[in-house]
Amino acid sequence: MKIIVRKNYEEVSIEAANIFEREIRENPNTVLGMATGSTPIGMSKELIRRHKEEGLDFSGVLTFNLDEYLGLHEDNENSYRYFMDNEFFNHINILKENTHVPKSDIDVLDETCSQYDDMIFKAGGVRLQVLGVGSNGHIAFNEPAERLNAYTSIVDLTEETIKDNSRFFDSMDQVPKKAVSMGMGSILKSEKIVLIATGKNKAQAIAKLIKDPYISTHLPVSFLLAHRDVTIICDKDAYSLVE
Ligand code: F6R
């Protein structure tokens, strides 16, 4: 595991954008794994800037997002599809049909979940996956539990995650309690993984990941210890409990 510690959110975002830019320039038809939440926003902004000012070309790129709240239509501004379009896809030259966010507002959900993993497989697999981490150590929406899903599935969100995510909603009761999320197996199949974490509320999860040589379903991010190409980029606050 490679660990990069930077001063603040801006520097972390630039470091992550550098890895993404390198991948896109080396493999113009690459398959990227995208995450939502606050953490990757700075990286997306930097990639948008590089697209507009430096010609970084997304026309051959395919993306797959990690997750989507259950039951939210893509027009709903709290849906992750809406978020991705607004924060990223609408500002670069990616083809809309090359972007994928799990669909979650339809009847045949189980089928859709397994089709999502198939689609990734048929695209050749994710080459570079960006991850954020929940304050409780979740990745995507794989929450701490006795067992974790291997494949894309419908999942229950924990109270902690519902509380963490309520900042984006008008009230707590509007925060969905379930989501569709790529499973641990789906994520670990990515060739390269970049985990970004900033802020004190991530410090505990990051310290456990870096210091404890154990994999536990109660700390889903610890499964990254079993992957051979993980880069953790964090700011000083997120790294503060490591030393
Ligand atoms: C979002 C996702 C989540 C977030 C995590 C951290 O697609 O998969 O695991 O990465 O909840 O969220 P932020 O970045 O808002 O702290």
Looking up residue 95, the CATH number of its domain turns out to be 3.40.50.1360
State residue 1's pLDDT score.
Answer: 95
Q: What is the pLDDT of residue 123?
A: 98
List alpha helices for the chain, DSSP H: 9-26, 41-54, 80-87, 109-122, 159-165, 184-188, 203-211, 236-239
In a domain, 72, yes or no: yes
Distance 117 CA to ligand 1 centre (A): 20
Distance CA 243, CA 52 (A): 40
Question: Using CA atoms, how far apart are residues 157 and 131, in angstroms rounded to an integer?
Answer: 17
Q: Is the pLDDT of residue 229 over 90?
A: yes
Structure token digits, residue 225: 């210890």
**Percent of the chain beyond pLDDT 90?**
86
Q: 43 in ligand 1 pocket by Cβ < 6 Å?
A: no
Query: What is the band of 62 on the pLDDT scale with cuts at 50, 70, 90?
Result: very high
Q: Report whether pLDDT(164) > 80.
A: yes
In a domain, 63, yes or no: yes
Rounded percentage of the chain residues whose pLDDT exceeds 70: 99
- Residue 241 maps to a domain: no
Residues 89-98: contacts with CB under 8 Å, at least 24 apart = 89/63, 91/48, 91/51, 91/52, 92/47, 92/48, 92/51, 92/56, 92/58, 93/51, 93/57, 93/58, 93/59, 94/58, 94/59, 94/61, 94/63, 95/59, 98/61, 98/62, 98/63
| Span 110-135, average pLDDT | 94
pLDDT of residue 111: 76
Residue 112's pLDDT is what? 82
Best mutation site among 39, 88, 235 for ligand 1 pocket (most ligand atoms within 8 Å of CB): 39
What are the tens digits of pLDDT across the range 67-116? 999 988 889 999 999 999 999 999 999 999 999 999 887 666 777 888 99
Give the chain's domain count. 1
Structural contact between residues 18 and 241, judged by C-beta atoms closer than 8 angstroms: no
Residue 243 in any domain: the answer is: no
User: Would 79 be classed as within a structural domain?
Assistant: yes
Query: For ligand 1, atom 12, which residue shows the shortest CA distance?
Result: 37
Which ligand 1 atom sits closest to the C-alpha of 80? 7
pLDDT in tens, 172-215: 888 999 999 999 999 999 999 999 999 999 999 999 999 999 99
20-38 pLDDT, tens digit each: 999 999 999 999 999 999 9
For residue 123, give the 3-state DSSP assignment. Answer: coil
**Residue 233, H or E segment:** strand 230-235
- Whether 230 has a pLDDT exceeding 70, the answer reads yes
The reply to whether ligand 1 has any atom less than 6 angstroms from the CB of 139 is yes
Q: From the alpha carbon of 181, which atom of ligand 1 is closest? A: 8
Q: What is the mean pLDDT of residues 127-135?
A: 97
| Residue 189 located in a structural domain | yes
Is 31 part of a structural domain of the chain?
yes
Q: Domain range spanning residue 38?
A: 2-235
| Average pLDDT along the chain | 95
Query: Tokens at residue 125, please?
Result: 């697999």
Whether residue 221 is contained in a domain is answered as yes
Active site residues: 67, 136, 138, 143
